[in-house]
Amino acid sequence: MIYDYFEFRFSVRLECGLKMIDSSDGIATVLSTLDEETLFALEKTITQGFKRSSTTEEAIYNIIKYSKDILSILRRKAVTREILFNYLDAINVKIQLPVTKNELIDKITEIWNIPQINTFNSESNALASVDAQQNYLTDSVVEMAQQFSTWFYTMLNSGECGSEHFFPDAKLTVNMYTNENCETRSVEGNPEEISQYLTDLHNQNNFYFNLNETEQGIQGKIDPHGLVIIMACGTIHTETVCCGVFEQMFALARDPLNDNNWKVKRTEINLQSQNQVLGTPEICYGESSSSVILAFPPE
């Protein structure tokens, strides 16, 4: 089978009834239940349009190969709760109803023996799973910044950004730079409008936010008020064209009215149009009112 030589391979196997389930075979089975239009669209999204397969088998191969990991595939909007439920039902795993998509993902990763290490997803604000009390260790904040950033841009690039991840008084500022001009839009005190604006930013412009996942592209710290400040940057793509760069700051706080989960208190994103991006954007420090700014290194 084509799946036997995946470069993206998980070796863990376990007994489930009379079957030995390998996670790469499992995700291939889940993807095979998508209709062709949805499958090819998912391949296009994940490969940023670079891959266009003629067969479903090839599309499944590319989806797995170019995804960050199997969990990121399961969290895709195209992989619905119904698809996950039917997969578990087909392998004789009993599910207690009612059930959420996140609970189904938990069950599948348990069966495939894939560890969920502080995962983030759009149905369950798993930011609470990160140990982030006032006495943070530096490595904990760095880990949280990495996990949050990966989760956020996976969600955004999927065309969905839930309002439940923002405080009622959250503030969004978007700065769009074109040549010498800057257009600024702010939304405050309306989580639904914030999430819709971010979703439209992706959907209407066909933007793909390519996060710089190295330590030069994602950083975190604690501010004097106890907020977790996360900085992230990367390049912006439309179809197969790199059209600019982005940098974004998030301020996260715990919500005592929602199981002490982490939510976005404020966020600011700079979008800069560039005809030619000469290098990978990186985070630099400088002086500002918050003692941290985002800037790209000089050319």
Tell me the backbone φ, ψ of residue 157, rounded to 5 degrees: -70, -15
Residue 284's pLDDT band, with cuts at 50, 70 and 90, is low
Across the range 86-115, mean pLDDT stands at 87
Contacts of 271 (CB under 8 A, 6+ apart): 174, 175, 176, 177, 236, 244, 245, 246
Per DSSP, helices labelled H in 33-130 are 36-46, 56-66, 70-74, 81-90, 101-111
Res 61: pLDDT: 92
Residue of 213, 258, 208, 255 lying closest to 233 (CA atoms):
213
Rounded-to-integer distance, Cα 79 and Cα 34, Å: 8
Res 138: pLDDT: 52
| Per-residue pLDDT tens digits for 23-32 | 888 899 999 9
- For 145, the enclosing helix (H) or strand (E) is helix 138-157
Res 288: pLDDT: 32
Res 213: pLDDT: 86
Res 191: pLDDT: 93
Confidence check: pLDDT of 76 > 70? yes
Q: What percent of the chain has pLDDT over 90?
A: 31
Rounded-to-integer distance, Cα 166 and Cα 263, Å: 5
Residue 152's pLDDT band, with cuts at 50, 70 and 90, is very high
Q: Are the C-beta atoms of 269 and 194 separated by less than 8 Å?
A: no
Res 47: pLDDT: 80
| Per-residue pLDDT tens digits for 162-200 | 888 999 999 999 999 887 788 999 999 999 999 999 998
Q: What token pair was written down for 73?
A: 């595939």
Confidence check: pLDDT of 62 > 70? yes
| Per-residue pLDDT tens digits for 103-142 | 898 899 888 887 654 434 433 343 443 333 333 345 578 8
Tell me the backbone φ, ψ of residue 88, rounded to 5 degrees: -65, -40
Q: What does pTM read for this prediction?
A: 0.54
Taking the domains of the chain in order of start, what are their residue ranges? Answer: 2-111, 126-273
Res 295: pLDDT: 36
Confidence check: pLDDT of 240 > 90? no
Res 21: pLDDT: 62
The CATH number of the structural domain formed by 126-273 is 3.10.450.50
CA distance to 149, 242, 265, per residue, from 133 (Å) = 19, 39, 17
Across the range 209-236, mean pLDDT stands at 88
